[in-house]
């Protein structure tokens, strides 16, 4: 998928390849393993700190279909994902593919990043895959207050482990556009990624109750006829090549203490 020349909707072969990479152990270095969460890193360009990251978490008392709903539900993400600055869906390509925008906070003092991605999903019995890659949309060019990053391939594999538990694997290869300091990779793999996974797990535990109070029957990712997104044609999109975006050099920036104003993991989702 990473060597594509044109915008295409992933097929079964692409989903199989993504799953195989999620399950592959060769070439990955374990950087964190504690309390049911493991993180691996694969350095691609050490001089730029360009890397792949893979996280796996065991989710007890969370059904696979609940975790799948949480990953899809954009309104709920705005409640629990404290890294999100802005996120919205742009348009629908097929019953299992759309285009969306996501902007997120980076560790200070780095500039914040955003992406426009083509996202696709595939339920496979008790397992699910959601994956995305960056595209260009003429109405959503790079913003002056953000660094436009490139998702080469990012996604989730959710594997059902009985009626009330599952495992999630998060795999990301993102070009952040620029040279990052070495501490960013360490902080991402040993602190930020495990923290994000644990926050997602807590959000999953609270989702059934939240959803009962917020349009409980509305799940367009399961029932595409519910979607109100405008239809998009593939011809409106083009590949977002990393080389066409501005690089910024942040390699000399030192880590600063994060603001303590961020919502606590213990905050309730209402």
pLDDT per position as a tens digit, 149-164: 889 999 999 999 988 9
Residue written as token pair 């917020």: 214
pLDDT of residue 262: 41
- Are 153 and 15 in contact by the 8 Å Cβ rule? The answer is no
Instruction: In whole angstroms, give the CA distance from residue 1 to residue 3.
Output: 6
Average pLDDT, integer, range 78-105: 95
Beta bridge partners of 221: none
Alpha helices in 44-142 (DSSP H): 64-72, 74-80
Model confidence over 6-63: pLDDT tens digits? 899 999 999 999 999 999 999 999 999 999 999 999 987 766 657 899 999 999 999 9
pLDDT of residue 266: 39
Query: Is pTM beyond 0.75 here?
Result: yes
Half-sphere exposure (CA, 13 Å, Cβ side) for 264? Answer: 3
- Boundaries of every domain in the chain: 12-241
- Grade residue 252 by pLDDT with cuts at 50, 70 and 90: low
- Grade residue 268 by pLDDT with cuts at 50, 70 and 90: very low
**Assigned CATH class of 12-241:** alpha beta
Average pLDDT, integer, range 227-241: 94
Q: Which residue has the higher pLDDT, 149 or 127?
A: 127
């Amino acid at each position: 998928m990473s060597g594509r020349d044109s915008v295409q909707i992933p097929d079964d072969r692409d989903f199989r390849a993504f799953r195989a990479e999620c399950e592959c152990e060769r070439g990955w270095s374990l950087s964190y393993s504690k309390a049911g969460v493991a993180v691996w890193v694969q350095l691609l360009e050490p001089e730029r700190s360009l890397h792949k990251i893979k996280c796996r978490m065991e989710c007890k008392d969370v059904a696979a279909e609940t975790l799948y709903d949480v990953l899809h539900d954009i309104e709920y993400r705005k409640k629990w994902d404290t890294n999100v600055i802005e996120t919205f869906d742009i348009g629908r390509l097929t019953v299992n593919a759309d285009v969306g925008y996501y902007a997120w906070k980076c560790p200070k003092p780095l500039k914040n990043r955003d992406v426009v991605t083509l996202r696709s999903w595939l339920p496979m019995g008790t397992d699910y895959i959601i994956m995305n890659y960056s595209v260009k949309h003429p109405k959503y060019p790079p913003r002056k207050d953000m660094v436009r990053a490139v998702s080469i391939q990012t996604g989730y594999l959710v594997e059902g482990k009985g009626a009330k538990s599952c495992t999630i694997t998060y795999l990301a290869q993102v070009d952040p556009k620029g040279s990052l300091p070495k501490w960013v990779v360490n902080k991402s793999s040993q602190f930020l990624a495990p923290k994000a996974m644990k926050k997602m797990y807590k959000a999953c535990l609270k989702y059934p109750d939240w959803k009962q109070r917020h349009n409980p029957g509305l799940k367009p990712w399961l029932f595409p006829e519910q979607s109100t997104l405008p239809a998009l044609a593939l011809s409106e999109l083009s590949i977002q090549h990393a080389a066409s975006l501005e690089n910024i050099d942040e390699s000399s920036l030192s880590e600063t203490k994060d603001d303590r104003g961020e919502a606590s993991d213990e905050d309730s989702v209402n």
